[in-house]
């Protein structure tokens, strides 16, 4: 609810306020075809929206909230950040990674030498994107084989997105199996939410890319519409400096590397497309009453920079210098079709059915120091979901149902896990996942709303993994909202590793889990200002890659505490958001017999520091948009990471090894620049000379103009390495037809 | 170790589940069939909200006196073409008044009848068909409300705008002036944007 709505509440009579609250709930449950429509009412007197004045009506949301049972945004049983297309356009963010980095409190974005960069929430981040779910219209898009949410985030093609909702913290019970650290749910436009046609051209300078997007949306009737989007991008990346934190003498035909100076050899473009291929995104949807169909195709994949092994390993005579210093490159292709039926059945029941099919194919080339064969993979997944929602009274509702998915894995010619000795010869396999889930929502008086949610997942290679969640929301006044949340999410390992372990030993691994305790408080200070505070404590029982086993297993238990402060200012012409995120390690314990440097979450168990190694304790974000006039709009944003003291501590620990492991930070003694703060500053201006034309100019990474090592992007595992994010420009031209 | 993992573990369960699902689907179809035969399709909540906006607009607009025969003449809200509003909703509007005038919701299918109403709502799917009603000579004394920027570009007075999940509206003051309509300062203040050349 927005502040205007709140003001109306404060002036309303108690009876009218109750009507308004109920109407708000009803509206949230039914305005979008994706949600159950309210019951047709034969009695004209029951069209109670006519009792509201215009200000009240403008406070009602017409899109649904997240969760199984319907509620309003204020009472959601999770910590959720939502932003929509106007904010996305005005942010100037070039891709989802940077968009989420800017808008989601306590979210961290970090680079990697393997596959796509990584996102994390509240101190939980991994070298694979499998700690959170990436969803389109609520359908999980993660690759199960190994990569997780390794698709779509780097595309400079955001024109199909109507809104993005991000949950921080464990959310398996409400959002899907395996949601340990959070959920990103992208809601594309439909024919009901986008009208007209436009063409957008975008040219990046500094971060070199050319992108074109076309979209068309049309209502065909009440509750019916069609939307089509296509975008393509030729992404070259940035010829920016790359730093390796440790000095090396000249070797392998490479000149010496000096810590604190850019790699003299050069490292190829940063953030460019793998294999030089064009990136594509196609999305089409058709809505007709309770039916919704959509199809989506995405092709992307990047080219990473080389690791420091180009110095520490010996180049074979048969390998050219160009090949030796070539980073990993990869390509993803994902095609998804989905159909959904959502309908009310009488006054108390509604049904939500969906069926989808997804194909993900990837190519992963590791030439360089590893000289491994190109790894190809493909998985096909058919997924079904059926949820029934029963609302016997206005103060309680129950949702229950199941999900079932079946996945086919297609004969990978080379596989990290399957091709280690002893080689797994069965290269085609199948697995299925069956889940049951339920949520019960009840209101206790005017002030309390409670949610009890639980899901249990049984995979072919797992026992039942149960993820419960309980939330109590206390709303003592129209301005104040308290939430008390306890949630646990369980996650099985990657599907290829599960098969590898099963084929070799007929065993199933221990799952990982995260138990979170959270309290939040939000207050509407006045018509324009809103403030919020979150505090969390997480027990993280983690699994990670064990090289000697060739699959993931127990790496330790880590308690992480922290919080977020948020502040928002919102008027018709100006929007400002601010957040401060804090996450730190409380304690860590490793399993008996754990090898040295067997995990990189923290060096604390080895006696070095007490911080998370891959996480900045403080993350500050601020974004501003302002409408100077109908024709001129301004935007500015900044993201600040306080530094990586845990990585510095880990590098000190790594220095005790005669030969430091590969996947840890290693830097010269006294060279601490990589572990210092990162700052990304952006600004944009938009000119709308007419309805048909929009011109926009965005400047990115402006802090690099003052100090290029300030706008640096560190690498996961090896935070001693970083690439400079150079100052860059994006020019956008949109023609509306 | 789980000895049964070589066999997909939920196959048997899935089989029985399929049976349950088929029964559920049959029941659903029966319910849906019953719903379809028992009356009109459910009123879209989105358009119920838009109808409430349309009704509220009548409180903030002053029409030329000649548009009303007497002080008790109704304010007529016309809907061009295929209407998203159910008869029940029309009846609900008819139960309300603005400044002592009844408010009526009426379907409109021709430019000639469009000139008889005070507010004309043109749904997005009828915009092309409605182009004729937006010709200048037919605009006097009619508040044109649409759903797209293109409609406003072609002379519509107010268009709905979905902004961050909430319904807003944009006012084209030039169109209002040409139609001889006076729009209150309060409505202008609530608008997301007021356009003037």
pLDDT digits (tens, 9 = 90+) for A306-332: 999 999 999 999 999 988 998 899 999
Contact by Cβ (8 Å): B123, A222: yes
* Cα–Cα nearest to A180, from A469, A585, A589, A535: A469
Q: What is the mean pLDDT of chain A?
A: 89
CB proximity A575 to B under 8 Å: no
Write phi, then psi, for A114 (nearest 5 degrees): -125, 120
* A contact residues 396-425, partner B, Cβ 8 Å cutoff: 402, 404
* Cα–Cα nearest to A267, from A315, A310, A317: A310
Region A50-55: mean pLDDT is 86
Confidence of residue B2 (pLDDT cuts 50, 70, 90): low
Contact by Cβ (8 Å): A17, A71: no
CB proximity A281 to B under 8 Å: no
Determine the pLDDT at residue B7: 46
Structural tokens at position A204: 């990046």
Q: Quote the minimal CA–CA distance from A462 to chain B in Å.
A: 8
CB proximity B136 to A under 8 Å: no
Per DSSP, the residues of B164-192 read TTEEEEEEEHHHHHHTT-EE-HHHHHHSS
Region A393-409: mean pLDDT is 94
| CA dist., res. A489 & res. A514, Å (int) | 5
What is the residue whose two structure tokens read 């009310």?
A: A344
Determine the pLDDT at residue A344: 83
The continuous run of DSSP H or E covering B48 comes out as: helix B45-57
Confidence of residue B27 (pLDDT cuts 50, 70, 90): low
Q: Considering only the C-alpha atoms of chain B, give the largest distance between any 2 of them, rounded to a whole number of Å.
A: 87
Per DSSP, the residues of B94-124 read HT-EETTEEEEEEEE-SHHHHTT-SEEE--G
Residues of chain B contacting A346 with CB distance shorter than 8 Å? 31, 35
Determine the pLDDT at residue A11: 34
Determine the pLDDT at residue A597: 87
Residues of chain B contacting A84 with CB distance shorter than 8 Å? 163-165
Mutate: best of B35, B104, B165, partner A, most A CBs <10 A: B165
Structural tokens at position A521: 């408080």
Determine the pLDDT at residue A417: 85
For residue B141, give the DSSP letter: T
Give SS3 for A185. Answer: strand
pLDDT-wise least confident of A492-496, A543-547, A555-559: A543-547
Determine the pLDDT at residue A74: 85
| Residue A210 reports pLDDT greater than 90 | yes
- Check the CA dihedral A29-A34-A39-A40 and report its sign: positive
B131 or A493, which is more confident? A493
CA-CA-CA-CA torsion for A610, A616, A617, A622, nearest 10 degrees? 180
Contact flag A196-B148 (C-beta cutoff 8 Å): yes
Region A34-61: mean pLDDT is 62
How many separate helices (H) and strands (E) can be counted in chain B? 7, 10
| CA dist., res. A246 & res. A228, Å (int) | 50
How many separate helices (H) and strands (E) can be counted in chain A? 10, 32
Structural tokens at position A558: 């880590």
Region A460-484: mean pLDDT is 95
Q: From the list A86, A404, A508, which residue is nearest B164 (CB)?
A: A86
CB proximity A194 to B under 8 Å: no
Q: Quote the minimal CA–CA distance from B87 to chain A in Å.
A: 9
Contact by Cβ (8 Å): A331, A277: yes
Comparing alpha-carbon positions, the chain A residue that sits nearest to B96 is A50
Q: Locate all alpha helices (DSSP H) within A218-373, ordered by sequence.
A: 309-312, 321-324
Question: A272 to each of A115, A243, A267, A320, A374, how far by Cα in Å?
Answer: 12, 18, 12, 22, 19
A627-676 pLDDT tens trace: 999 899 999 999 999 999 999 999 999 999 999 888 999 999 999 999 99
Contact flag A218-B44 (C-beta cutoff 8 Å): no
Determine the pLDDT at residue B24: 56
| CA dist., res. A347 & res. A405, Å (int) | 31
A346 or A10, which is more confident? A346
Residues of chain B contacting A461 with CB distance shorter than 8 Å? 5
Confidence of residue A681 (pLDDT cuts 50, 70, 90): very high
Contact flag A49-B49 (C-beta cutoff 8 Å): yes
Q: Quote the minimal CA–CA distance from A343 to chain B in Å.
A: 9
Residues in a beta bridge with A621: A579, A639
Contact by Cβ (8 Å): A439, A173: yes
Supply the angle between the helices A14-30 and A3-11 in degrees, to the nearest 10: 150
What is the residue whose two structure tokens read 């070095």?
A: A608
ipTM score over 0.85, yes or no: no
Mutate: best of A57, A289, A575, partner B, most B CBs <10 A: A57
Contact by Cβ (8 Å): B195, B183: no
A182 or B127, which is more confident? A182
Residues in chain A: 737
CB proximity A38 to B under 8 Å: yes
Confidence of residue B45 (pLDDT cuts 50, 70, 90): confident
A232-246 pLDDT tens trace: 999 999 999 999 999
A198-209 pLDDT tens trace: 999 999 999 999
User: Percent of chain B beyond pLDDT 90?
Assistant: 30
A378 CB-contact burial (10 Å; exposed 0-12 / middle 13-18 / buried 19+): middle
- Check the CA dihedral B25-B26-B28-B32 and report its sign: positive
Contact flag B47-A220 (C-beta cutoff 8 Å): no
Question: A372 to each of A253, A330, A369, A721, how far by Cα in Å?
Answer: 21, 13, 9, 23
CB proximity B49 to A under 8 Å: yes
Question: A39 to each of A27, A31, A42, how far by Cα in Å?
Answer: 11, 11, 9
Per DSSP, the residues of A225-250 read EEEEEEEEEEEEEB---EE-SS-B-S
Q: From the list A55, A195, A508, which residue is nearest B2 (CB)?
A: A508
A496 or A561, which is more confident? A561
Contact by Cβ (8 Å): B156, B150: no
| Residue B152 reports pLDDT greater than 80 | yes
CB proximity B93 to A under 8 Å: yes
Structural tokens at position A58: 């403008």
Determine the pLDDT at residue B14: 57
For residue A495, give the DSSP letter: H
Mutate: best of A62, A162, A222, partner B, most B CBs <10 A: A222
| CA dist., res. A687 & res. A716, Å (int) | 39
Contact by Cβ (8 Å): A33, A342: yes
Q: From the list A40, A82, A218, which residue is nearest B43 (CB)?
A: A40
The CA-based angle A598-A602-A607, given to 5 degrees, is 90
Determine the pLDDT at residue A438: 96
Residues of chain A contacting B9 with CB distance shorter than 8 Å? 432, 458, 460
Write phi, then psi, for A725 (nearest 5 degrees): -95, 100
Residues of chain B contacting A460 with CB distance shorter than 8 Å? 5, 8-9
Residues of chain A contacting B24 with CB distance shorter than 8 Å? 386
Region A696-707: mean pLDDT is 96
Confidence of residue A678 (pLDDT cuts 50, 70, 90): very high
Q: From the list A30, A38, A50, which residue is nearest B52 (CB)?
A: A50
Contact by Cβ (8 Å): A213, A229: yes
Determine the pLDDT at residue A515: 97
Q: Quote the minimal CA–CA distance from B6 to chain A in Å.
A: 8
Determine the pLDDT at residue B140: 81
Mutate: best of A29, A58, A504, partner B, most B CBs <10 A: A58
For residue A593, give the DSSP letter: T
CB proximity A598 to B under 8 Å: no
């Amino acid at each position: 609810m927005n502040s205007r709505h709140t003001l109306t509440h404060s002036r309303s009579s108690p009876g009218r306020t109750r009507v308004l609250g109920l109407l708000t709930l009803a509206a949230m449950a039914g305005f979008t075809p994706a949600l159950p429509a309210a019951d047709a009412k034969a009695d004209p007197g029951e069209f109670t929206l006519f009792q509201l004045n215009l200000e009240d009506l403008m406070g009602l949301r017409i899109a649904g909230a997240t969760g199984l049972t319907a509620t309003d945004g204020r009472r959601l049983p999770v910590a959720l950040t939502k932003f929509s297309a106007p904010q996305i356009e005005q942010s100037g963010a070039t891709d989802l990674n940077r968009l989420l980095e800017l808008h989601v409190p306590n979210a961290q974005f970090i680079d990697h030498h393997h596959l796509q960069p990584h996102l994390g929430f509240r101190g939980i981040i991994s070298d694979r994107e499998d700690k959170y779910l990436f969803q389109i219209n609520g359908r999980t898009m993660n690759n199960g084989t190994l990569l997780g949410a390794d698709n779509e985030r780097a595309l400079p093609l955001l024109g199909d997105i109507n809104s993005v909702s991000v949950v921080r913290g464990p959310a398996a019970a409400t959002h899907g199996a395996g949601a340990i650290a959070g959920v990103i749910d992208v809601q594309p436009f439909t024919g009901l939410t986008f009208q007209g046609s436009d063409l957008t051209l975008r040219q990046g300078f500094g971060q070199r890319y050319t992108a074109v997007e076309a979209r068309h949306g049309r209502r065909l009737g009440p509750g019916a519409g069609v939307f089509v989007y296509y975008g393509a991008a030729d992404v070259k990346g940035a010829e920016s400096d790359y730093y390796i934190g440790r000095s090396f003498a000249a070797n392998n035909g490479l000149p010496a590397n000096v810590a604190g100076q850019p790699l003299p050899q050069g490292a190829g473009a940063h953030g460019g497309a793998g294999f030089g291929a064009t990136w594509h995104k196609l999305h089409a949807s058709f809505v007709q009453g309770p039916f919704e169909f959509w199809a989506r195709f995405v092709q992307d994949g990047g080219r990473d920079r080389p690791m420091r092994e180009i110095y520490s390993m010996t180049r074979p005579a048969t390998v050219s210098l160009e090949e030796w210093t070539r980073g990993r490159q990869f390509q993803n292709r994902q095609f998804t079709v989905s159909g959904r039926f959502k309908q009310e059945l009488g006054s108390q029941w509604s049904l939500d059915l969906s069926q989808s099919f997804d194909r993900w194919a990837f190519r992963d080339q590791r030439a360089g120091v590893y000289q491994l064969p190109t790894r190809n993979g493909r998985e096909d997944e058919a997924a079904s979901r059926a949820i029934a929602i029963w609302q016997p009274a206005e103060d309680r509702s129950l949702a229950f149902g199941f999900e079932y998915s079946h996945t086919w894995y297609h004969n990978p010619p080379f596989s990290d896990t399957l091709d280690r000795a002893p080689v797994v010869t069965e290269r085609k396999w199948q697995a299925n996942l069956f889940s049951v889930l339920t949520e019960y929502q009840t209101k206790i008086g005017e002030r309390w709303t409670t949610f009890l949610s639980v899901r249990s997942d049984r995979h072919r290679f797992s026992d039942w993994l149960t993820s419960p969640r309980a939330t109590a929301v206390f709303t003592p006044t129209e301005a104040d909202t308290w939430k008390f949340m306890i949630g646990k999410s369980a996650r099985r390992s990657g599907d290829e590793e599960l098969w590898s372990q099963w084929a070799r030993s007929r065993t199933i691994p221990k799952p990982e889990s995260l138990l979170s305790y959270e309290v939040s408080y939000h207050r509407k200070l006045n018509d324009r200002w809103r403030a919020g505070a979150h505090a969390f404590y997480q027990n993280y029982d983690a699994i990670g890659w064990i090289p000697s086993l060739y699959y993931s297993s127990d790496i330790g238990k880590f308690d992480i505490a922290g919080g977020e402060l948020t502040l928002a200012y919102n008027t018709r012409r100006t929007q400002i958001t601010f957040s401060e995120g804090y996450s730190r390690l409380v304690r860590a314990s490793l399993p008996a017999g754990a090898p040295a440097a067997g995990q990189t979450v923290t060096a604390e168990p080895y006696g070095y520091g007490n911080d998370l190694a891959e996480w900045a304790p403080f993350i500050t974000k601020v974004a501003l948009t302002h409408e100077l006039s109908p024709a001129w709009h301004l935007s500015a944003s900044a993201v600040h990471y306080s530094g990586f003291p845990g990585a510095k501590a880990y590098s000190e620990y790594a220095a005790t090894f005669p030969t430091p492991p590969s996947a840890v930070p290693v830097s010269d003694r006294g060279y601490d620049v990589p572990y210092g703060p990162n700052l990304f500053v952006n600004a944009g201006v938009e000119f709308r000379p007419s309805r048909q034309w929009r011109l926009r100019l965005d400047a990115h990474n402006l802090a690099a103009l003052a100090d290029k090592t300030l706008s640096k992007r560190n690498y996961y595992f090896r935070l001693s390495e970083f690439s400079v994010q150079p100052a860059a420009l994006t020019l956008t031209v949109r023609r509306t037809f | 170790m789980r000895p049964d993992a070589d066999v997909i573990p939920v196959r048997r369960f899935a089989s029985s589940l399929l049976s349950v699902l088929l029964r559920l689907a049959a029941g659903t179809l029966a319910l849906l069939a019953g719903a379809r035969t028992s009356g009109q399709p459910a009123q879209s909540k989105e358009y119920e909200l838009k109808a409430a906006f349309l009704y509220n607009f009548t409180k903030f607009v002053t029409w030329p006196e000649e548009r009303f025969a007497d002080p008790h003449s109704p304010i007529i809200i016309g809907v061009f073409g295929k209407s998203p509003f159910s008869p029940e909703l029309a009846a609900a509007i008819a139960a309300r008044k603005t400044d002592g005038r009844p408010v009526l919701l009426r379907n409109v299918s021709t430019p000639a009848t469009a000139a008889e109403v005070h507010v004309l709502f043109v749904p997005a799917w009828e915009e092309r068909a409605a182009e004729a009603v937006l010709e200048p000579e037919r605009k006097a004394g009619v508040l044109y409300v649409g759903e797209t920027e293109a409609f406003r570009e072609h002379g519509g007075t107010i268009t709905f705008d979905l902004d961050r999940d909430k319904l807003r509206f944009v006012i084209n003051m030039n169109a209002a002036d040409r139609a001889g309509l006076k729009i209150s300062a309060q409505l202008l203040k609530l608008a997301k944007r007021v356009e003037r050349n």
